[in-house]
A and B are shown apart, each in its own frame.
Chain A
């Protein structure tokens, strides 16, 4: 049972026009949306996707891309011209009006762009509306409404009229109303698009909080890519009625399916979507903990770095050694770097989003160390990489200029050339310049 999707759409078409079925045949035969425009408007063309339980599935596209039409087919507000929709195993496309109403009462609810509250009824009565349609007694449904209002942070507002509330609060009422009937699936049609940017951000975060608690299956429509990237577990990008790509936010951003998606993702706030793992590169100045100072110095010289990360046998990040300390060790004739290993000032986890890396990157004298959940060094992020990752275009990570000026190579060579009699006894004996 756990594997069956909460919501599934198969080969959905929606054509507005007199001879819709025929238009679908023509589209199936390979004609384009423009080809068939003489017979009807193809709003949605061959859309298939499935949404897992507890997932936030975002459908994103510009106006006219068919996203609002799709969401209305998911609960049968629009009848699909062809194709099928099932919600929790029940068909939406092939059913009776009575069964469809039952499905809407019990399984699928909806949040609207302009809230669509009933202006003549109090906030509590609005929230209780789905329960009222189900025939729940008044006292019981108002108690439930009060409970849900508290959940969305509106306790005590129940007896106000919606017009007394701000836009953000009205949409919280809209969300509360959608949650009142405890549905499996929540359809959100541009739910935050009518709100001010600051309020919108707040609502997005509240939705994520709620989702953490409630684990609903959510289909969210938006034209705002940042919103899609923030909320979506997976995103479907639509264009001209077709779904052009479905994938995780990272997939869409780093591996756009075509030029359209690529152009679209140009404006996205990449810092909030990409994670450390997406942009990190192979750490080059890395030495094992049992290495000698000469090895470390050579590593640093080759990597043009002022310091090197020190890792254990299993690549666990142990610390950092600087070129100046290593030089002192070589001069002092030490053959272990153990005494000068310093604590790593800053390291970040692989799944951290870029926006949280800036301060650590500034504070870190070395390219920022990235570790996995077992503390192993998996890569580094030089500041320049961090900057380049914010630019448009996939993988803007070329060669790196050096964040901290290292000791000039000549000086290192000079040090390495000195005290040749130590060389014989030390463990790192391979070669001398």
Chain B
């Protein structure tokens, strides 16, 4: 019995139709993505290498510790020593742009699905699909739409990295203590005041865990993006595989590992600043609050969450 549903063909037809009819949109996306990724790569490469390493180290110190700064400097020097600096910066900028785009989509979607059960019910299978479909498959329609280069790589990366961002944002917001949300309602806060003043601040650690996951997935996908011709460490890995060049493969792989660990540690620390009291930011904040507490009249204006408290504007300003 020769029974077959030509599902794949249908999808292909649909993709072709999209390519023919939405080419304008795809061109715009191509231009924008090229501009963002190439622009960021140019900036990262324009800064002298020692200065760039110093900046990475300083960020590590700011959010975590001086030990992290030292480790960062050593690791990035290793990248320079392996001759992979340019490729690493290309990969980094691809990952960063992909992460920003993914989060710009994922966080609002996560908020929406946290507040609306219908949205949640629809999104759940879609996210499951996105996460379990083998990542390579995304590359095929991406090439169809955007030809080869960095753009299909980025689009595939965004799709692949999106789900944990949505899921953890939703989880974070739904996980905020319901009594605290009720408190906002009971004192007459509007839904948007509750979102900005209570739910998002309290969900931040979980959302940052989501950001962390998005970055990690984006990084793993950025290597696959090398297959479709995106410049960077991924391309070198693909090269080394096709030429069975172990030395090159290990070096490029190590470069990916270094960026991954660095980004992971930085974003993890951003999510839970209270856990890293020896970070430069933590030390500065403590010193500032200690200084404001010493004068006779304690001033509440300078407590460390000054900035966050301020962004919850009263209803009148809306």
Q: List A residues at the B interface (Cβ < 8 Å).
A: 72, 75, 77, 101-106, 108-110, 112-114, 116-122, 124-125, 129-130, 132-136, 138, 142, 156, 158-159, 161, 177, 181, 187
With A135-B315, A159-B298 in contact, do A120 and B186 touch (Cβ < 8 Å)? no
B183, CB-defined interface residue at 8 Å: yes
Nearest CB of chain A from residue B126's CB, rounded to whole Å: 27
Between B177, B293, B298, B309, the greatest number of chain A beta carbons within 10 A of the residue's beta carbon is seen for: B309
For the complex, give the distance between the alpha carbons of A250 and B201 in Å.
Answer: 48
Residue contact A77 to B179, C-beta cutoff 8 Å: no
For the complex, give the distance between the alpha carbons of A125 and B315 in Å.
Answer: 16
Q: Which residues of the partner chain A approach B187 to less than 8 Å between Cβ atoms? A: 104-105, 109-110, 129-130, 133, 177, 181
With A124-B300, A132-B314 in contact, do A104 and B188 touch (Cβ < 8 Å)? yes
Within 211-243 of B, Cβ neighbours of A (below 8 Å) are at none
18 new A-B contacts, CB < 8 A, other than A109-B186, A118-B198, are A108-B186, A110-B183, A112-B182, A113-B179, A116-B177, A116-B179, A116-B180, A120-B202, A133-B189, A133-B193, A134-B188, A135-B315, A138-B301, A158-B298, A158-B300, A159-B289, A159-B298, A187-B186
With A112-B179, A116-B177, A133-B193 in contact, do A101 and B188 touch (Cβ < 8 Å)? yes
Give the contacting residue for A77; candidates B186, B293, B308, B316; CB below 8 A: B186
Total interface residues on B, CB under 8 Å, equals 32
For the complex, give the distance between the alpha carbons of A103 and B185 in Å.
Answer: 11
Nearest CB of chain A from residue B131's CB, rounded to whole Å: 31
For the complex, give the distance between the alpha carbons of A112 and B186 in Å.
Answer: 10
Q: List B residues at the A interface (Cβ < 8 Å).
A: 177, 179-180, 182-183, 185-190, 193, 197-198, 201-202, 289, 292-293, 298-301, 303, 305, 308-309, 312, 314-317
Instruction: Name 29 A/B residue pairs within 8 A (Cβ), A-sorted.
Output: A101-B188, A104-B187, A104-B188, A106-B188, A109-B186, A109-B187, A112-B182, A114-B177, A114-B179, A116-B179, A116-B182, A117-B183, A118-B180, A118-B183, A118-B201, A122-B300, A124-B300, A125-B300, A125-B303, A125-B309, A129-B187, A132-B312, A132-B314, A133-B189, A133-B315, A134-B188, A158-B298, A159-B292, A181-B187
Q: Which residues of the partner chain B approach A119 to less than 8 Å between Cβ atoms? A: 202
Nearest CB of chain A from residue B203's CB, rounded to whole Å: 11
Residue contact A112 to B183, C-beta cutoff 8 Å: yes
**Considering only CB atoms, which chain A residue lies closest to B293 in the complex?**
A159
Nearest CB of chain B from residue A418's CB, rounded to whole Å: 81
Q: Which residues of the partner chain B approach A75 to less than 8 Å between Cβ atoms? A: 186
Nearest CB of chain A from residue B21's CB, rounded to whole Å: 43
Q: Which residues of the partner chain A approach B183 to less than 8 Å between Cβ atoms? A: 110, 112, 116-118
Nearest CB of chain A from residue B187's CB, rounded to whole Å: 4
Nearest CB of chain A from residue B274's CB, rounded to whole Å: 9
Chain B at the A interface: SS class? helix
Nearest CB of chain B from residue A173's CB, rounded to whole Å: 12
**Considering only CB atoms, which chain A residue lies closest to B317 in the complex?**
A135
For the complex, give the distance between the alpha carbons of A124 and B305 in Å.
Answer: 12
For the complex, give the distance between the alpha carbons of A368 and B202 in Å.
Answer: 60
Residue contact B185 to A142, C-beta cutoff 8 Å: no
Q: Which residues of the partner chain A approach B202 to less than 8 Å between Cβ atoms? A: 118-120
Q: Which residues of the partner chain B approach A120 to less than 8 Å between Cβ atoms? A: 201-202, 305, 308
Residue contact B314 to A135, C-beta cutoff 8 Å: yes
**Considering only CB atoms, which chain B residue lies closest to A141 in the complex?**
B314
Q: Which residues of the partner chain B approach A102 to less than 8 Å between Cβ atoms? A: 188
**Considering only CB atoms, which chain A residue lies closest to B178 in the complex?**
A116
Q: Which 10 A-B pairs have the closest CB atoms?
A: A105-B188, A135-B316, A104-B188, A135-B314, A116-B183, A110-B186, A116-B179, A101-B188, A130-B187, A116-B180
Residue contact B182 to A77, C-beta cutoff 8 Å: yes
Q: Which residues of the partner chain B approach A181 to less than 8 Å between Cβ atoms? A: 187
**Considering only CB atoms, which chain B residue lies closest to A125 in the complex?**
B309
Nearest CB of chain B from residue A170's CB, rounded to whole Å: 12
Q: Which residues of the partner chain A approach B298 to less than 8 Å between Cβ atoms? A: 156, 158-159
Residue contact B188 to A133, C-beta cutoff 8 Å: yes
Q: Which residues of the partner chain B approach A136 to less than 8 Å between Cβ atoms? A: 314
For the complex, give the distance between the alpha carbons of A187 and B183 in Å.
Answer: 12
Nearest CB of chain B from residue A123's CB, rounded to whole Å: 9
Nearest CB of chain B from residue A333's CB, rounded to whole Å: 80
Q: Which residues of the partner chain B approach A132 to less than 8 Å between Cβ atoms? A: 312, 314
For the complex, give the distance between the alpha carbons of A116 and B189 in Å.
Answer: 14
For the complex, give the distance between the alpha carbons of A138 and B317 in Å.
Answer: 14
Residue contact B193 to A121, C-beta cutoff 8 Å: no
Q: Which residues of the partner chain B approach A105 to less than 8 Å between Cβ atoms? A: 187-188
Q: Which residues of the partner chain B approach A103 to less than 8 Å between Cβ atoms? A: 188
Residue contact B303 to A159, C-beta cutoff 8 Å: yes
**Considering only CB atoms, which chain A residue lies closest to B308 in the complex?**
A120
**Considering only CB atoms, which chain B residue lies closest to A139 in the complex?**
B301
For the complex, give the distance between the alpha carbons of A181 and B193 in Å.
Answer: 17
